[in-house]
């Protein structure tokens, strides 16, 4: 079984008067033992050596890149960073090295690396990272998930792993990924709409104690009739007609809204009184129009709707009746 100095080949210069050369112990994959070779003093500073061609490297990443790309290094162990002259040498290493057949957490030896990896995948006692060269071992799926996202920059949307944070961010940008959960979106509009699911529920209903993530969600609550204060939709439309006028309401619908008429009876099955002055898209409900402003691709802004002022008007125009609901003054 190989010793720890096989990882890149640590060395121990022997005593001598020659300041430029020294005897260095390098692992020989053929004999399975360290053999002395002469290296100059400049190379003695490195702790990472290729076991096949004896080239020194500054760090583990340099040695790993060399093994993965250099010609003739096909029979290499990517975990221990050792290269063998033959496939039989690599096979012996994979069968005998504790790093390939031993589970430290369970203190258990397996017949092969494949059997050990299968154990790691199925055991409920711990969750081992299956990424090559990684020895992380967590107690549950949550710890493993955090490890994959923070160390291996895993995308929360597709599960793809990246070598750096910059590459992970580039991937999220290209796929319109969510910065919180990584979920991919088809376009910028869908991503903007998805981001609203991460918004805090701090928008209070104008009439009751309910709170919502978005202004459109709160207004839909009022329009739907589920508000405990029982705001009448037609009365709400009257208020909107008097507040917005023709700014965001089609003139053909304005007076019908103000008079509290049923728009479907007056204009057919698909009335769309509200419109966006930026993209000209039309909407049946005010809440749908507000949702478009919140996550639409046009330049329209919630500030243009002056919802805070509309809220004050709502509270001034509607008062609680004896039944606890609201009525228009």
CA angle 60, 65, 71 (to 5 degrees): 130
107 is a domain residue: no
C-alpha angle with apex 6: 5 to 12, nearest 5 degrees?
40
Please give the pLDDT value at position 5. 36
Angle, helix 286-295 to helix 233-244, in steps of 10 degrees:
60
* Rounded distance between C-alpha atoms, residue 148 and residue 20, angstroms: 45
In a domain, 319, yes or no: yes
pLDDT at 11: 36
Question: What is residue 75's three-state secondary structure?
Answer: coil
Domain of residue 240, residue span: 203-328
One digit per residue, the tens of pLDDT, for the chain of length 329 reads 443 333 333 333 333 333 344 444 444 555 555 455 555 544 455 678 888 888 888 888 888 889 888 888 888 887 788 888 888 888 888 777 777 888 888 888 888 888 888 999 889 889 999 887 788 999 998 999 999 988 998 888 888 888 888 888 888 888 888 877 878 888 877 777 787 778 788 899 988 888 999 999 999 998 888 888 767 788 888 889 988 988 999 999 999 888 888 888 888 888 999 999 888 899 999 999 998 888 877 778 888 899 999 988 888 877 555 444 445 44
Residue 50 located in a structural domain: yes
Asked if 207 and 324 sit in the same domain, the reply is yes
Residue 31 falls inside a structural domain? yes
CB 83 within 8 A of CB 93: no
The answer as to whether 34 is a domain residue is: yes
Query: pLDDT at position 273, please?
Result: 93
pLDDT at 21: 42
| Predicted local confidence at residue 16, as pLDDT | 37
Residue 104 lies in a domain: no
Same domain, 298 and 224: yes
For residues 127 and 121, the answer to whether their CB atoms sit within 8 Å is no
- Please check whether residue 153 lies inside any domain of the structure: yes
Task: For residue 155, give both structure tokens.
Answer: 């995308």
Residues 53 and 116 in one domain: no
One domain for residues 136 and 71: no
Do 82 and 57 share a domain, yes or no?
yes
Whether this prediction's pTM lies above 0.85 is answered by no
Query: Do 122 and 160 belong together in one domain?
Result: yes
Structural domain count of the chain: 3
Q: Which of 153, 184, 215 is the last residue of a domain?
A: 184
């Amino acid at each position: 079984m190989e010793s720890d100095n096989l990882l890149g080949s640590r060395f121990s210069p022997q005593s001598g008067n020659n300041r430029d050369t020294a005897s260095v112990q390098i692992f020989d994959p053929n004999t399975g033992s360290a053999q002395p070779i002469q290296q100059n003093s400049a190379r003695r500073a490195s702790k990472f050596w290729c076991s096949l061609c004896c080239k020194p490297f500054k760090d583990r990443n340099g040695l790993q890149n060399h093994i993965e790309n250099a010609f003739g290094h096909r029979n290499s162990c990517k975990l221990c960073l050792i290269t063998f002259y033959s496939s039989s040498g690599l096979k012996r290493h994979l069968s005998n090295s504790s790093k390939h057949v031993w589970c430290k957490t369970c203190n258990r030896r397996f017949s092969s690396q494949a059997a050990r990896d299968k154990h790691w995948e199925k055991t409920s006692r711990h969750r081992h990272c299956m990424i090559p060269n990684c020895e992380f071992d967590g107690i549950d799926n949550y710890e493993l998930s955090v490890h994959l996202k923070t160390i291996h920059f895993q995308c929360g949307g597709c599960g793809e792993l990246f070598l750096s944070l910059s590459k992970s961010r580039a991937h999220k940008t290209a796929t319109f990924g969510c910065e919180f959960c990584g979920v991919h979106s088809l376009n910028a509009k869908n991503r903007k709409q998805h981001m609203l699911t991460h918004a805090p529920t701090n928008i209070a209903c104008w009439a009751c104690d309910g709170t919502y993530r978005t202004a459109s969600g709160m207004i839909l609550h009022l329009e739907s009739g589920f508000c405990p204060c029982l705001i009448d939709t037609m009365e709400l439309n009257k208020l909107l007609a008097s507040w917005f006028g023709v700014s965001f309401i089609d003139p053909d619908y304005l007076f019908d809204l103000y008079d509290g008429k049923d728009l479907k009876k007056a204009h057919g099955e698909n009335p769309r009184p509200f419109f966006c002055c930026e993209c000209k898209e039309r909407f049946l409900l005010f809440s749908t129009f507000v949702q478009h402003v919140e996550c639409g691709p046009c330049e329209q802004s919630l500030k243009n709707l002056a919802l805070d002022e509309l809220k004050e008007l709502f509270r001034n125009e509607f008062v609680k009746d004896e039944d606890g609901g609201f009525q228009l003054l």
